[in-house]
């Protein structure tokens, strides 16, 4: 952001200077004073390309600032516009991702994905296309944990975050009667949750439970293999 601001200032200032030299006799007078008046005829061949260059730099910096501002806004506010009015007041949070008005399963992660326009309903294939394999793994594991049917792929692409799930990126558990999956040690620490206050659900102490709150590994294939998914799903159901 600071880099874009500096670039914008440079483009504007240098564009003004180049325009000043090109459209006024500011440069002509000093050249004549030092005996270089014959060079005046060649100034247009130098100043116009310079002016065009700095105008392009200015436009690029303005576009970059706009994209940064847009991404920042979208990262902090995204849910289906068609369901926004049905969300309870406690869910009208900028860190909330999902269009289900009464989620049964809430996943807590440290960072949100890159999002499309706020007006576009939640669409998992679109989010995967925008964010790549990292978020494909997250949505796949979440679908395997939450899918009420055998075909988790279809559920991931068509029903995930629309029927019974949500993802939260805030710093506290949402006050909702749901099962809360806090994924990764960074999220445990951010929400102030200590595994010593929980009961381990597996021999390797990878998943911990206290009431309806579960501390889990980050949603990655290595940390969260199918065997662990099957074990945890028994408790979630």
Last residue of a domain, one of 33, 54, 75: 75
| Cβ count within 10 A of residue 144 | 19
Q: Are residues 171 and 207 in the same domain?
A: yes
Q: Are residues 216 and 161 in the same domain?
A: yes
pLDDT tens per residue across span 145-178: 999 877 899 999 999 998 899 999 989 999 889 9
Whether 50 and 95 share a structural domain: no
Q: Is the pLDDT score of 3 beyond 80?
A: no
Same domain, 65 and 99: no
Please tell me the predicted confidence (pLDDT) of residue 203. Answer: 87
Give the range among 51-55, 145-149, 178-182, 215-219 with minimum mean pLDDT. 51-55
Total of domains in the chain: 2
Taking residues 99-113, report their average pLDDT: 89
Three-state SS sequence of the chain: CHHHHHHHHHHHHHHHHHHHHHHCCCCHHHHHHCCCHHHHHHHHHHHHHHHHHHHHHHHHHHHHHHHHHHHHHHHCCECCCCCHHHCCHHHCCCCEECCCCCCCEEEECCCCCCCCCCCCCCCHHHHHHHHCHHHHHHHHHHHHHHCCCCCHHHHHHHCCCCCCEEEECCCCCCCCCCEEEEECHHHHHHCCCCHHHCEECCCCCCCEEECCEEEECCCCCCCCCHHHHHHHHHHHC
pTM for this prediction? 0.61
| Residue scoring higher pLDDT (144 or 18) | 144
Q: What average pLDDT does the structure give for the chain?
A: 76
Cα separation, 152 vs 171, in Å, equals 29
Mark whether 31 and 142 lie in a shared domain: no
Residue-range definition of the domain harbouring residue 141 = 84-236
In this structure, the answer to whether residues 141 and 175 fall within a common structural domain is: yes
């Amino acid at each position: 952001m600071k880099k874009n601001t500096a670039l914008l200032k440079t483009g504007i200032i240098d564009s003004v200077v180049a325009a000043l030299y090109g459209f006024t006799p500011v440069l002509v007078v000093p050249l004549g004073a030092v005996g270089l008046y014959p060079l005046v005829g060649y100034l247009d061949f130098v100043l116009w390309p310079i002016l065009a260059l700095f105008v392009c730099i200015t436009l690029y910096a303005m576009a970059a600032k706009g994209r940064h501002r847009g991404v920042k806004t979208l990262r902090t506010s995204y849910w289906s516009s068609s369901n926004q009015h049905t969300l309870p007041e406690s869910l009208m949070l900028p860190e909330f991702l999902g269009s289900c008005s009464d989620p049964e399963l809430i996943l807590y992660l440290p960072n949100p994905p890159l999002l499309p326009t706020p007006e576009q309903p939640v669409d998992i294939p679109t989010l995967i296309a925008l964010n790549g394999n990292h978020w494909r793994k997250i949505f796949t594991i979440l679908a395997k944990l939450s899918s009420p049917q055998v075909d988790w792929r279809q559920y991931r692409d068509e029903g995930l975050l629309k029927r019974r799930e949500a993802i939260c990126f805030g710093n506290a558990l949402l006050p909702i009667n749901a099962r809360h999956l806090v994924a990764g040690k960074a999220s445990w620490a951010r929400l102030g949750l200590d595994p010593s206050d929980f009961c381990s659900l597996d021999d390797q102490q990878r998943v911990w439970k206290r009431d309806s709150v579960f501390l889990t590994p980050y949603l990655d294939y290595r940390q969260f293999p199918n065997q662990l998914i099957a074990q945890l799903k028994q408790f979630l159901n």
